Amino acid sequence: MSDLNSIDALEAEIAAAVSVAPDLAALEELRVSALGKKGRVSLLMRGLGQMSATERQQMGPRLNGLKSSLSDAIASRKQALEYAELEQRLANETLDMTRPVRLGPLDTGRVHPVSQVMEELAAIFADMGFSVAEGPDIEDDHHNFEALNIPASHPARQMMDTFYLPPRDDGTTMVLRTHTSPVQIRTMLAQKPPIRIIAPGRTYRSDSDQTHTPMFHQVEGLVIDTETHMGHLKGCLEEFCKAFFEIDAIKMRFRPSHFPFTEPSAEVDIGCARVGNEMRIGEGDDWLEILGCGMVHPQVLRNVGYDPDEVQGFAFGIGIDRLAMLKYGMPDLRAFFDGDLRWMKHYGFRCLDVPTLAGGLSP
């Protein structure tokens, strides 16, 4: 039979163990071994029944006191351990909100200004009812020259600094197309009027300096219908320029010119101001040439089997790289084709900023 002293010792022993229980599992073990059904304290309490009335009077309150003091000790240790565990979790699961977010490919990749401008062109002309046509970069003499009314003896052939490929077995010589105009021929051969197309793409001439690269980009435009005249051509180009440069009014000048595939032909200048290094479109008294155009030559129509007495049309050709330089203020054409990532980061466009007339052409 335990006496009061041994109960004091038991209390001290268990309380000491509880106060240093390293974790919740160890604490639970202690609780079961003291207060569980077969725990040491429970066994002692069960012994009360066999005691004499006087003994029970003494031991009853003491054992109840023991039970409640150990319960309290365990509860408070439990709270301390749970708190420590929470602290630990909070420390481990901390997010440093000040750290920069790592960008994914959609944010770091860039669209080249030439591609951007091509998208803008497609959006603007689509709004005017044009579709996009294509032709091969490697052309034959017929499409690049003959059918466009540029015979072998024509001086325009020399002016174009053509890249010729080695002669083929059948004696013909292919060229890298010197302009996008052969797409006019291909389109007219493949479709029936009315025709409204633009044809953006790569073009090649053996030429290289600060404003010329051997590969460059043009966009061709072609409209064929029964009643198409210079007024339509002017209106169409004016609408295009206003939309492209995102201004409400633009000054344009049509200068008489000559191209073998158009008659009459014109070169178009737009009004601009040179302010320091900057070029402002739509204001000022300077002029800047941006494109060639004209009414499709009757001989070109005949060359594709059309009757010039029944259909007529207009065409234009614009240098895309030049447009991009003007709109986005890039001074050196050669940098377009250097593939320098730093340049792309600076001048490139985000890939999800798709140009539309409704949403805005340029970001």
Residues near ligand DAH, by CB under 6 A: 179, 181, 220, 259, 262, 292-294, 315-317
Select 201 or 294, whichever has its Cβ closest to ligand DAH: 294
Q: What is the CA radius of gyration of the chain?
A: 44
* Cβ distance to ligand DAH smaller for residue 67 or 179: 179
Instruction: Please list the alpha-helical segments (H only) found in 111-229.
Output: 113-127, 141-144, 155-159, 182-190
Nearest approach in angstroms of CB 293 to ligand DAH is 5
**Exposed/middle/buried for 187, CB within 10 Å: 0-12, 13-18, 19+?**
buried
Q: Which residue number has the CB closest to ligand DAH? A: 317
* Residues linked to residue 140 through DSSP beta bridges, in sequence order: 174
Residues 6 or more apart in contact with residue 344 via CB below 8 angstroms? 110, 112
Assess contact for 162 and 175: CB atoms under 8 A.
Answer: yes
Coil, strand, or helix at residue 146? helix
Give me the least distance between CB of 173 and ligand DAH, in Å please: 20
Minimum distance, C-beta of residue 109 to ligand DAH, in the bound complex (Å): 32
The residue (of 77 and 143) whose beta carbon lies closer to ligand DAH is 143
How many Å apart are CA 323 and CA 290, to the nearest integer?
8
Name which of 261 and 336 has its Cβ closer to ligand DAH: 261
Phi/psi class of residue 339: alpha, beta or left (left: φ > 0; alpha: ψ in -120 to 50)?
left
N-terminal to C-terminal alpha carbon distance within the chain = 91
Nearer to ligand DAH, 67 or 205 (CB): 205
Judged by DSSP in three states, 209 sits in: strand
We find the least distance from the C-beta atom of residue 180 to ligand DAH, in angstroms, to be 7
The pair of structure tokens assigned to 341 is 């990532």
Q: Where are the beta strands (DSSP E) in 105-251?
A: 131-132, 138-140, 174-176, 195-204, 215-225
**Rounded Cα distance, 131 and 256, in Å:** 28
**Spatial distance between the Cα atoms of 78 and 98, rounded to a whole number of angstroms:** 35
Both tokens assigned to 40: 């040491």
Q: Which is nearer to ligand DAH, 116 or 187 (CB)?
A: 187
Residue 39 or 292: the one with the smaller Cβ distance to ligand DAH is 292
Q: Which letter does DSSP use for residue 3 in this model?
A: -
Which CB atom, from 179 or from 327, has the smaller least distance to ligand DAH?
A: 179
CB of 362 to ligand DAH, least distance (A): 25
